[in-house]
Structure 1
Amino acid sequence: MKLLLISPELKESIFSYSKKDVRSFWFPRLSLPVLAALTPPDVEVRLLDESIEKINFEEEVDLVGISVMTFLSPRAYEIAGEFRQRGVKVVLGGIHPTAVPEEAKLHADSVVVGEAEGLWPRLIQDFKNGDLKPFYRQNGLPSLENLPHPRMDLLKRDAYLTANCLQASRGCPFGCEFCSVTNFFGNTYRLRPVKDVVKELESMPPGYVMFLDDNIAGNRKYSMELFEAIKPLGLAWSGQSSLRLADDLELLKKAEESGCKGLFLGIESLSQENLKKVRKGFNKVEKYKESIKKFFDHGISITAGIIFGFDGDDESVFERTAEFLEENRITLSTPAILTPLPGTPFYRQMEKEGRVFDKNMAHYDGRHVTFYPKLMSPETLQEGYYWLNHRLFSIPSIFKRVIMPAQPYLLSRLGINWTFRRMANRVPKGGISPIARLLHRIQGTLNSSSEGLIPNTPPVTDLTASGQQPAPDGDVSIGLSHLLQNTREEVIERILSIHTTYDEKIKTIRVSLKGVLDERVVKKFIKRINKILATGVVEVVVDC
């Protein structure tokens, strides 16, 4: 029996990875090697990654298995259709078929729902007996003890940056509403025995190691044991964690000593309110700078996951985020557009509110706008995303983030940024509006020594204690003068905090002020507000 296992890839897309891209920074997905390891030894297995190899639909095979991510589902269904037309049976599995099994079954002879352990050998035997079932579903969750090592030997190893990939855990202890991981792994976070992980690492050829866990430090006790156990192996490795790791200096030190050189961290947003609404409030925006420094102090580079399109995001979010990443010298970032992935709470919310307008799953890749954002148009979000990619991978930005001063492993970090620059140059230039730049410049925290928008005079007024209502409609100067005349005088720290939110749909800016004002500050503030009004904004609402 001949079995062909396929990992599909985008075709004819500006976001497709070339072979050069894959060799420069990518690694293989584990799903196919795991399936190959679960396949009985009498079956001849071949793995095909479409990002590095074309599919020969005339190849003589008995059964085809395709691992399907949501944005690759249209391509997976196309591949399945080609083989089924030739009389070859096709099985679909992975995150997307698990979320929408009935849809997947329309394009396959059988669908695996959930993890493959315990199901795949039975499926193979049923196929041999001519009794392939339409669905194979997990009853409970498979044990992670004594798992066979993924068949990485069946891959074209030299086609990737590294093929030394493994998992020590499955799932994530958190439940972020936009993430599909929680649903796939049954809302659990499960751990392999440390001895099994060490044994798998010892079986790998020399080279850089990638832990493909969704959170390598999600269980402190386990991670301490794991990092201590792999320390003697002398590895260099990368993985994925949460920012909370920075709060545990002992665990962070253990990660460093075990050979951790880089981590993907889901920063996601610079707005605490955004994070709270998607159940990621454990990220503390006020601690970002401090946390990032701790990783750097332990020799760990950061790849930052940043998402755009939250309900609190307006046009100013793009430039503000770019400056944050540059000022904090983030080694690499992977900007993404918030996407309502099937099976997630966010998808259900957007469907309920009638905000999903694009059902083409090929666009559910974090690079296309598929729903109506709250404070900006889909076009503004898409153009801002394009603009940010070009900004972050411009030579000046790379220089700021990686070279001044030089980071450790300078050449490799420059190399991966150059690869991302090459990919960014394939997408449209995009752009942000003049009002987005003004919005970005008007907000921030300012004190009496500032040379910017509001250089405060000596402390005079505590607005936060005044109990004043928002400025009355009409002339901005009248509203603020009224506010000043009725505020309680109190000597406090000379700081004014300004936050703006722009609703593009109704051309309205809401300005929130906290801190101190005086007459001179008011005049300068009004001058800037009038500049914004000149851009076509219909209304400015000031909250204090």
Structure 2
Amino acid sequence: MKKVLLTSVCRPMGPDFGDAPSVGYELLYRQVTRAQGIFSPRALHLNFSLEYIARNLSSPAVVLQYPTKKELIRELKKGYDYVGVTFLMAVFHHMKETVELIRRHSPRTKIVLGGYGTILSDEVLKPYGDYICREEGVGFFRNLLEEPKLEMPYAHPLVVSKMKIFSIPVSKTGMIFAGLGCPNGCDFCCTSHFFKRKHIRLLPTGRDIYNVIERYLALDPDTQFVVLDEDFLLNRKRALELRDAVLEGGKAVSLFVFSSIRAISQYKVEEILEMGIDGFWIGYEGAKSGYAKQLGRPAAEILKEFRENGIIVLASMVVGFDYQNEEIIREELDGLLSLKPTLGQFLIYGPVPGTPFYERVMKENRMEDRLVKDPELYYKTADGFSAMVKHPTMAPGKIESLQRMCFEEDFNRLGPSIYRSLETWFLGYLKHRGSSNPFLRRKAQRFAKEVLKAYPVFLPGILLGPNGAVRSWIRDLEKRIHLELGPPTPARRCLSLVTLAAALWTHFKLRFNLFQHPSLTRHAYRDLRLGLLSSHTFADLSMAVRWHRGRDIVRVRLEGVIDSLNAEEFCQRVSDSLKAGKESLILNIENLKSFEGRSVQILCDRLKEYRSRITIQSRFSRISTSDLARLSQTFHLAPISLEES
């Protein structure tokens, strides 16, 4: 069986290492909230596609997220038949270094290049890869490995993004991979034209999406969600299927989605909230940009309504359209900021290979001369923060300075986004706390819970906000919230001081550039050769193993979730290990957060051949009567003693 390694490019990277301004490991801090300093939320942005592909192969696979060169070399020495490297155009030079390491330390390994960096031509990429993936990755790799085709929906890995504010963990976000590509076809959009303006539904129905939500909630009932789909609400049938499933489930879940004005205009705000959606990324672009996705209700009307109903909005504006000059950019910025979006992104209109804008720029000979002469400089600066096109009225430096102005004005006039979020949730609570709709009342309570949890963050904003007007606004917001939700408890007052100290520590780290790079994230999938000889982590299930060799006993403690997707893989591994030896297995399931129904049946069916050698250990208080009966009919059950708990 072939072995596969999937990896990102190597760290360290970022502006301090000669990269473009937005290159790094985070979407918010490096891009959206780049002007907000210590107030910026921090979350590691994983290469989600690698986890998704690895989860859906039959061959053993390992995923590395941001390895150092030394860590990559150590992994390569374990021997792999294929190594997949994902990259963006702006890290082309890092991809070259990664490929050079692979060829030097594992010369027989075949290299697969993937990610949106593969929009570059075969002529450019062929020297660095044996294969180039420019399609949906699971199908590509399964074909390459001669594995049978899978039907959608594919198995969905549970990938959790952890957010910090002032260096303190505050939330967990479950990533939901619902679709690829976008039919809107904006002339600058790489993701739309990469998939030829087609939409690939990885999760075809609303029920499929909700099934993934339930798996995450079994891990942590407070999980929030991001649905990765370029224009999620465009497919009304699927969206309303999700609404039906959410209402049936009864939980006031929290989803952040990507959508257009055209798609949003199909729905009432109550329908959107009933889908669990309380956050949007919306392409505001420009007032005269003229994209079809902007047709529908006025953007100002939608953003105002969303804010009043507790829905946060990340509005994305483009700087550098041909019709724009400094005056127009300032007017459009004023118009956007008057709508008080929770977050704002401002990117420079840039040409990406494969898009209509790129073709037009090249045809009209408008690419900056220095970039035409040095293609690798063009790749390196294609990050949305460099002016690369000869503009009718503005020099490159002027466009870049106006972009910086947009980010700074957004921060200085509207304040840190974390407080804008709190205000929006507070408004949503006030709007729906007395609703006749039971689900919207539950949604209001969720908003209130998030605001109460955030009480300690007010003190840093009041003392350290960017200017007097913002500090005064944060103080007034705190007073309004305390009047409605109650004053802080003594414990929360103490936490406010701790949070202030954490904010100062965050400032110190940023000032001296300390601890700004992530450690390696490594996940192994289907490494069956290990048997039960060592601890192992699946994407959403971990197990710790202890051997008692003198007594021929193996103790396995499970944590996380066993579901119908990973139960088969786990049982195969256990079966292979028991078949190869004579040991007895004691399986401790006490710390599982979800183990029921279908997964219990799979465990009983797949391991019944070894029933005499398996003991299931737990207090069994969280297992249903029917599942407990099923387990007891197949295996020996034993309680956990004090020394084992």
- Into which bin does the TM-score normalised by the smaller protein fall? 0.5 to 0.7
C-alpha deviation, 1:286, in angstroms: 8.8
Matched, 1:376 2:394: yes
Give me the whole-angstrom Cα distance separating, in 2, the residues matched to 1:281 and 1:228.
29
Equivalent positions of 1:66-465 (< 5 A) are 66-86=85-105, 87=107, 88-125=109-146, 145-150=152-157, 152=159, 162-191=172-201, 192-204=204-216, 205-206=219-220, 207-231=223-247, 232=249, 233-250=251-268, 252-270=269-287, 272=288, 275-276=289-290, 280-283=291-294, 287-357=298-368, 358=371, 359=375, 360-394=378-412, 396-398=413-415, 406-408=423-425, 411=454
Aligned length in residues? 396
TM-score normalized with structure 1 length:
0.64
C-alpha deviation, 1:120, in angstroms: 0.4
Give me the whole-angstrom Cα distance separating, in 1, the residues matched to 2:44 and 2:75.
29
Give me the whole-angstrom Cα distance separating, in 2, the residues matched to 1:290 and 1:144.
41
Give me the whole-angstrom Cα distance separating, in 1, the residues matched to 2:69 and 2:272.
39
Instruction: Judge conservation of contact 2:56–2:138 (CA < 8 Å) in 1.
Output: yes
Partner of 1:32: 50
Instruction: Judge conservation of contact 2:263–2:293 (CA < 8 Å) in 1.
Output: no
Instruction: Give SS of 1:303's match.
Output: strand
Instruction: Give SS of 2:345's match.
Output: strand
* Unpaired runs of at least 5, structure 1: 127-141, 427-544
What residue identity is the alignment partner of 1:85?
R
Instruction: Judge conservation of contact 1:302–1:332 (CA < 8 Å) in 2.
Output: yes
CA deviation digits over 1:237-294, x for unaligned, max 9? 10100122442343x3222122212100000012x2xx22xxx144259922112112
Instruction: Judge conservation of contact 1:213–1:240 (CA < 8 Å) in 2.
Output: yes
Give me the whole-angstrom Cα distance separating, in 2, the residues matched to 1:298 and 1:148.
35
Equivalent positions of 1:494-533 (< 5 A) are none
In 2 relative to 1, CA 98–326 (structure 1 residues): closer, same or farther, beyond 3 Å?
closer
Instruction: Give SS of 1:146's match.
Output: coil
Instruction: Judge conservation of contact 1:318–1:385 (CA < 8 Å) in 2.
Output: no
Give me the whole-angstrom Cα distance separating, in 2, the residues matched to 1:101 and 1:163.
37
Percent of aligned positions with the same letter in both sequences? 22
Give me the whole-angstrom Cα distance separating, in 1, the residues matched to 2:150 and 2:188.
27
Instruction: Judge conservation of contact 1:26–1:161 (CA < 8 Å) in 2.
Output: no
* Unpaired runs of at least 5, structure 2: 31-40, 426-449, 467-502, 512-645
CA deviation digits over 1:22-43, x for unaligned, max 9? 97245434211111112224x1
Give me the whole-angstrom Cα distance separating, in 2, the residues matched to 1:268 and 1:162.
29
CA RMSD of aligned residues (A): 3.6
Give me the whole-angstrom Cα distance separating, in 2, the residues matched to 1:160 and 1:64.
35
What residue identity is the alignment partner of 1:311?
D
TM-score normalized with structure 2 length:
0.55
C-alpha deviation, 1:303, in angstroms: 0.2
Give me the whole-angstrom Cα distance separating, in 2, the residues matched to 1:157 and 1:294.
27
Instruction: Judge conservation of contact 2:90–2:381 (CA < 8 Å) in 1.
Output: yes
Give me the whole-angstrom Cα distance separating, in 2, the residues matched to 1:101 and 1:256.
45
Give me the whole-angstrom Cα distance separating, in 2, the residues matched to 1:47 and 1:247.
41
Give me the whole-angstrom Cα distance separating, in 2, the residues matched to 1:376 and 1:17.
29
Instruction: Judge conservation of contact 2:89–2:116 (CA < 8 Å) in 1.
Output: yes
In 2 relative to 1, CA 145–122 (structure 1 residues): closer, same or farther, beyond 3 Å?
closer
In 2 relative to 1, CA 389–328 (structure 1 residues): closer, same or farther, beyond 3 Å?
same
Tell me which protein shows more helix as a share of its residues. 2
Instruction: Give SS of 1:145's match.
Output: coil
Instruction: Give SS of 1:75's match.
Output: helix
Instruction: Judge conservation of contact 1:101–1:113 (CA < 8 Å) in 2.
Output: no
Partner of 1:59: 74
Q: 1 or 2 for the larger relative contact order (CA 8 Å, sep ≥6)?
A: 2
C-alpha deviation, 1:388, in angstroms: 2.0
CA deviation digits over 1:386-415, x for unaligned, max 9? 222222223x43179956993326659999
Give me the whole-angstrom Cα distance separating, in 2, the residues matched to 1:173 and 1:105.
29
Give me the whole-angstrom Cα distance separating, in 2, the residues matched to 1:60 and 1:401.
39
